Structure 1
Amino acid sequence: MFAPLATEDGSGGEFVGPSINEFFPDAVLFVGTPFEMNRIMIIRVIVVVALVLVFWLGTRRMKIVPGRFQSLVEWGLSIPRDSIAIDLLGKKDGTRFLPLLTTIFFLVIGMNITGIVPLMNIAGTSVIGIPIILAVISYVTFIYAGVKKHPGKFFKNALFPPGVPWALYIIVTPIEFISTFVLRPVTLTLRLLMNMIVGHLLLVLFFLATQFFFFQVGGPAALFGVGTLAFGFVFTLFEILVAVLQAYVFTLLTAVYLQLALADEH
């Protein structure tokens, strides 16, 4: 919170920054029922519907010589396929897990990008629900892939790496358990969540400050509003980059975990 400043009429003004309460808005639909929805839940539903609609329209009548929209959809689909799934897991396993990796990639992008969309202005991943669900799905798939590929050996080799002296397992095994089976889903969740929370708070801070200097303080102090508006615009572009990068990183780490689970040394 900033110290009070004098407004144009001399009455004084006070800047109030963004609050963590913005991530817990009141319910607006189906209030009082088990299906009540707040603004963030509505945004999530809109994103899912939009993604389904885009990919349905882009793939329902595919042509050998694609049009612009089909080309754009195919290019988007090639990102998780070629640079993540096939590149890390090979053609066989990459194709096998491609639906999961593609879904994670575009769902995270869609949920992230709403943070800079007018009238939405908050990411669907800025509350822990979506990040933790995706992290659990990634974690369960990692365990499933490892157990199916190496039944009876996956957990043993993960917790007791071969080649380590038996006496050192007292130290190594707890570290491997925490890093492999605890920290992975936790870090996946927190990395995505905290980036979206911080990004939202900074954007709100810049644009609230712009409104404050332009419309509440006015006068020469309005020049500060030009600066905060410029920072807000630059950071909006940066948030687009972060939205895409976080989707790529989340999907990439999921593929890396699958690669480790499927590795022959297990």
Structure 2
Amino acid sequence: MISNGLVVAAGEQQGYQAPTIDDMHLPAIFEIGSFAFGKQMLLVMLSVVIVAGFFMYAARKRAMVPSRTQFIGEMGYGMARNSLGKEIIGAHAYKPFVPLLFTAFFFILVNNLYGSIPLIQLPTMSYVGSAYALAIIAYVTWVGVGIKRKGLGTFFKDMTMPSGVPPVIYVILIPIEFMSNMLIRPATHALRLFATMFGGHLAIMVAASLTQYLIMEAGGFAALASVGSGVLGIFLFFLELMIQCIQAYVFTLLLAVYLQGSVSEGH
């Protein structure tokens, strides 16, 4: 009887409960068989409309003296064209890849920024499936380009046999390079984006829920500690906002680097 009473008392005094993955990833809006359509998928579809709509609106007049919207659109396109395309892939080979780099950057940027928009507050790349889908598209693209440009044998030679290495070292180096470039590279490409979005958003949720708990439930002197957790939450919010932009750039930058390796001569 005493032990049962202690269990009940412990259950009633659990205190602060940190948010879990289930709290972060909401249930599906509707399901059809094994297919589930949720908030994350809805936001991904909405991001396509946002990106396409904004740049179509920005380019509608194409004036010599651009409006503010046209200027922002041209600046965004110029960044993808020059910083991510021309400077990394090379002036002779970058043009066919500008649409891909442009689309990848702004698509990821919008989906990341969802996490900082009130009421939405869900970076869709915090779902590992979204990050892996983008990484697979990137992987198929740069591998396909490399095989088309160089041929199957030359492409895999460049990926696994660095120049200037004694031939005897290739026995060890080829398996390592193959795993690094062909297997580990796409996995890390996805996980880098997913982990930063997931971890950052979960940290903000913890800070916000702790602040709410200290104010609404703990009360008393404990409520004073809510100032610290609240300030931490604000700091994490702006830090995450910066990381959301950086990770969109980093993902696209790496895609450009991989494409450069596919079109360049040698390893």
Tell me the TM-score normalized by structure 1.
0.90
Report deviation, 1:148.
Answer: 2.0
Judge conservation of contact 2:126–2:195 (CA < 8 Å) in 1: yes
Residue of structure 2 equivalent to 1:19: 20
RMSD: 1.8
Judge conservation of contact 1:23–1:126 (CA < 8 Å) in 2: no
Pick which of 35-44 and 125-134 moved more.
35-44
Distance 1:90 1:167, change over 3 A: closer
Sequence identity, in percent? 35
Distance 1:236 1:24, change over 3 A: closer
Residue of structure 1 equivalent to 2:41: 41
Report deviation, 1:82.
Answer: 1.7
Report deviation, 1:24.
Answer: 3.8
Aligned mates of 2:45, 2:204 — CA distance in 1: 23
Q: Where does 1:186-201 land on structure 2 (aligned, <5 Å)?
A: 186-201=187-202
Q: Where does 1:29-178 land on structure 2 (aligned, <5 Å)?
A: 29=30, 31-33=31-33, 36-151=36-151, 152-178=153-179
Q: Which amino acid aligns with 1:202?
A: A
- Whichever structure has more helix as a proportion of its residues is 2
Question: What per-residue deviation string (whole Å, max 9, x for no partner) do you get for residues 63-103 of structure 1?
Answer: 11111111111112222222111111223322110000111
Q: Which amino acid aligns with 1:166?
A: P
Count of residues in correspondence between the two structures: 255
Pick which of 41-50 and 20-29 moved more.
20-29
Judge conservation of contact 2:24–2:202 (CA < 8 Å) in 1: no
Judge conservation of contact 1:125–1:196 (CA < 8 Å) in 2: yes
Judge conservation of contact 2:80–2:101 (CA < 8 Å) in 1: yes
Tell me, what secondary structure is at the counterpart of 1:100?
helix
Question: What per-residue deviation string (whole Å, max 9, x for no partner) do you get for residues 78-137 of structure 1?
Answer: 222221111112233221100001111111111111111111111010001221111111
In structure 1, list runs of 5 or more residues that go unmatched. 1-10
Aligned mates of 1:96, 1:180 — CA distance in 2: 23
List 4+ stretches of structure 1 deviating above 4 A.
Answer: none
Aligned mates of 1:221, 1:158 — CA distance in 2: 58
Report deviation, 1:27.
Answer: 1.2
Tell me the TM-score normalized by structure 2.
0.89
Aligned mates of 2:263, 2:218 — CA distance in 1: 61
In structure 2, list runs of 5 or more residues that go unmatched. 1-11
